[in-house]
Structure 1
């Protein structure tokens, strides 16, 4: 009965979203509302008002760290768009790539599986969805399919935000980050077959059908991309692997798809200059030690030792906002900036609400000791069989928390203990847990809320979840099969 009560907040969120009668923000409010009495009344350790206030404050801090990514990203990408502002809008025929079916489909693949993951790796926190949606918005696709395509930009999350999640997981697992990321390539590559099937089905539903050779071409590009990512990970580690591998691939794909002459190439480079400059600067702030130390020393706020701190001059959200201000100043468009700021808030507010509410819910349950007790109880009762349900546990926590950090912190130590006792590969066991918690976050209500806002699909979240359900089950099935193979590979002794 106690475990059922502890599960009530999560079950409330799931039931609310499944009902189709409330949006993600309302579901998060209901989940937090359920978490408060559960934490105060059934916590395994004393948990009172002061501790509750601290947990809520921690959740607010997490939300405050993430919010600039969402709103800053929206503002920057809109301000940087080549056709943004009245002075830049022109009438005339639509470009051929927006009309020709094959060109439209190739632009879609380019946005979902190259530009989106690249932007996510450079910045993190869903900014890849923004880049994908802005690239495909001229295609005028239905909102539901656009939401799916936005989510597909999140398929390489272990390398997102400069591999920060993988670095944290490697610390929990005591496995070198590059080794953990390489082992993670196996489940990620297998899951990619599911994401490609989802892409093909959604493209067909959106009216962007193709002949068999194009399917093979897309599969070949994906295989080459993953191979390049694996090689870069082995050499450079997860922090810069995706940027290094995908940067040249993006340029090559652009040249092959568009085959531009010199004027078109120059026009494309000029239109992409704000994005190129921003990503290059963000990469520099993270990879150049002297620059990073200098900017970090200017200001730092770190009220909670175990939570991310805020360094305003290193935070990508700060620079995205600064970039938007710089563009407005250079183009002398203060009114456009004000308009786009209001539009960014209108588009991103529900995602912001969801981030704050889910973060507070997670912190309340963690602060009350419920999350850890729930995990410890499952491991104690299932023992060696826990390895087989790791994908379910980590995936479920990753979906609800919109982060792999929660399942990694809760389950990694027990997972490693079981792996050592059963003679299993420690890097493989750690990678399975890590990928389950991070990659299945594609189904997170927070990400869904961001996708709905970007695609103007507010209120259609339930319909998208219905479309995603078979693929979610397939993803869990693949991870469960990997868990079974891992368990059978053990040799006691």
Structure 2
């Protein structure tokens, strides 16, 4: 009975979101409202007013370190894209599709789904990757149903989306460095990539854009090259700017290879892309030059909790996103738009920021009261190390319902880490499995499906697309389960 009481906050969130009656914010408020009395009245650890205040403060601090990624990314993207074509602009020279050969059309499709889409999503999140992908391939005259699937495929690198804000939140909840968690996440992400490629190949063929096996092999090699560059970039730069730094050069190489622009066209494209190039260069410099890194961190560092991430305003990637947006506006003589763009970014990003704060506070309340550890102990006593095998299913279900990995990470990460400690399993590996299961499976979320349908003008065809996606979702779950088995056997 006590375990049912301890599970009430998570069950309430799942039921609220699954019913469709409450959005994520209201579901998070409900979960936190239930978590507080459950923790105070039934928690195995002493949890009075002082402990509650500290837990809520810890959750607020975690949210405060994540919010700049979200709001800064939105602000930068809006300013960089205003008044100049973005890298995902379908009208960019050399990327037009009318009259192109079937191979050229297919290469544009791949370019949009596996390079531009993840890059745009990494820069700002909020489905901008889907927008960039659909904008770029709309001129290919693809039917709405396959176009919806191609839009969703832009989300395959979602652990690095929104400047890695979700990964940084998961790392904070797991009390491990963000770069370490991002590096371990490469393993389950790599396991899922063949599924995404198979889905892309099947959908492209059904859409009349099939190509030879040799071209499919080249596509797989480009994806492998992206993963090969992303791994060291994550280790050296952290998940905030890793994908931008790794995929930026790939996008340039692919553009030059496919478009073969003349000097004038290449220069025009470079002028449109300079804000992104400058931002990536600055972020890489602040992470790879030790003297600069130490100087920026030393200017101002706030660390109210020893075991949680500190905040250094002059080093934080979110601060550089804001600075990059302001610099871009001033360079383009669009300073008058700054206030408007700031308000727009705050309005769009407010739900995500509130969700991060609420779920982080809920996680800290349950953890501070000892509930997360007690639940992990109970699972370990009943299932021993095999309890980790439930991780992909629990995280995936809530990730799909909540359209984000933040909810499952906040609800389950503390107990998963406690379980890993009890079972003697790799903490970063278990954390990465939990994180990738929730974030990557959110690709199948009804919210993302609705966004894809709206962008592809496929409203009413969601059910048919779900039927097409179901076998691939099952394959993803099976692969994640194999990943969990590998963690258990690796002990």
TM-score, scaled relative to structure 2: 0.76
Whether the 8 Å contact between 2:35 and 2:366 is mirrored in structure 1 is yes
The answer for the alignment partner of 1:422 in structure 2 is none
Aligned to 2:420: 415
Check whether the contact 1:151–1:451 (CA below 8 A) recurs between aligned residues.
no
- 1:372 correspondence with 2:373: yes
Q: Deviations over 1:407-456 (max 9, x none)?
A: 6664457536645xxxxxx7xx5564243122123258799799799989
Shift of 1:200: 5.6
In the superposition, relative to structure 1, how do residues 390 and 19 fare at CA in structure 2: closer, same or farther (>3 Å)? closer
Pairwise CA distance, 1:74: 0.9
Partner of 1:57: 57
Shift of the 229–260 alpha-carbon distance from structure 1 to 2, 3 Å rule, reads same
What is the deviation of 1:477?
A: 1.6
- Structure 1 contact 65–310 (Cα < 8 Å) conserved: yes
Task: Quote the Cα distance in structure 1 between the aligned partners of 2:490 and 2:340.
Answer: 59
2:155 aligned partner? 151
Aligned counterparts of 2:55 and 2:444: Cα–Cα separation in 1: 23
CA distance in 1 between partners of 2:91 and 2:175 (Å): 54
Alignment of 1:68-87 (within 5 A): 68-81=68-81, 83-84=83-84
- Give distance in 2, aligned partners of 1:84 and 1:14: 42
SS in 2 for 1:277: helix
Q: Is the 8 A contact 2:116 2:132 kept in 1?
A: no
* Counterpart Cα distance in 2 of 1:168 and 1:454: 29
User: CA 1:286–1:164 in structure 2 vs 1: closer, same or farther (change >3 Å)?
Assistant: farther
What is the aligned partner in structure 2 of residue 440 from structure 1?
437
Can you give the 5+ residue segments of structure 1 that lack an aligned partner in the other structure? Answer: 420-425
Q: Aligned pair in 2 of structure 1 residues 454, 34: CA closer, same or farther (>3 Å)?
A: same
- 8 Å contact kept, 1:295–1:314: yes
Q: Give unmatched runs, 5+ long, in structure 2.
A: none
Matched, 1:276 2:277: yes
Do the aligned partners of 1:78 and 1:340 also contact (CA within 8 Å) in 2? yes
TM-score (norm 1): 0.76
Query: Following TM superposition, by how much is the alpha carbon of 1:114 offset from its aligned partner in structure 2, in angstroms?
Result: 3.0
Aligned residues of 1:285 and 1:291 also touching (Cα < 8 A) = yes
Asked if 1:315 corresponds to 2:319, the answer is: no
Instruction: Give the whole-Å Cα distance in 1 for the aligned partners of 2:301 and 2:176.
Output: 25
Structure 1 residue 40 displacement after superposition: 2.3
Taking the aligned partners of 1:325 and 1:237, their CA distance within structure 2 comes to: 23
Change over 3 Å in CA distance of 1:316–1:156 after alignment to 2: closer
Is the CA contact (8 Å cut-off) linking 1:191 and 1:478 kept in structure 2? yes
Between 336-345 and 383-392, the greater mean CA deviation after superposition:
383-392
- Equivalent-residue separation in structure 1 for 2:446 and 2:285 (angstroms): 31
Aligned to 2:19: 19
In the TM superposition, residue 341 of structure 1 has moved relative to its aligned partner by: 2.1
**Alignment deviations for residues 371-395 of structure 1 (CA, whole Å, 9 cap, x no partner):** 1211122112212433544544676
Deviation at 1:287, TM superposition (A): 1.5
Q: 1:129·1:154 contact (CA, 8 Å) conserved in 2? A: no
Task: Map Cα deviations across residues 58-99 of structure 1 (whole Å, 9 max, x no partner).
Answer: 2222222211211111111111126359xx9xxx98967355
8 Å CA contact retained: 1:3, 1:374: yes
Contact 2:45 2:369 in 1 (8 A): yes
Determine helix, strand or coil for the equivalent of 1:310.
Answer: coil
CA 1:13–1:107 in 2, change beyond 3 Å: closer, same or farther?
farther
Q: Which position in structure 1 is the counterpart of 2:194?
A: 193
Post-superposition Cα deviations, 1:104-162, rounded to whole Å, max 9, x if no partner, equal: 764554354335555777x7xx64954664465465697966873453231568x9579
Partners of 2:6 and 2:38 within 8 A in 1? yes
2:296 corresponds to? 295
Alignment partner, residue 210 of structure 1? 209
Provide closer, same or farther for how the CA distance between residues 243 and 454 of structure 1 changes in structure 2, counting only shifts above 3 A. Answer: same
TM-superposition CA deviations, 1:446-478 (whole Å, max 9, x none): 9979979998979x9xx7996877655432321
In 2, the alpha carbon distance for the partners of 1:367 and 1:447 equals 33
Q: Secondary structure at the match of 2:303?
A: coil
Q: Which range is displaced more, 102-111 or 353-362?
A: 102-111
* 1:345 counterpart residue number: 346
In the TM superposition, residue 12 of structure 1 has moved relative to its aligned partner by 1.8
> Cα RMSD over matched residues?
4.6
How do 1:319-398 residues align onto structure 2 when only pairs under 5 Å count? Answer: 319-392=320-393
CA contact (8 A) 2:174 2:414 kept: no
Work out the CA distance in 2 between the residues paired with 1:297 and 1:486: 38
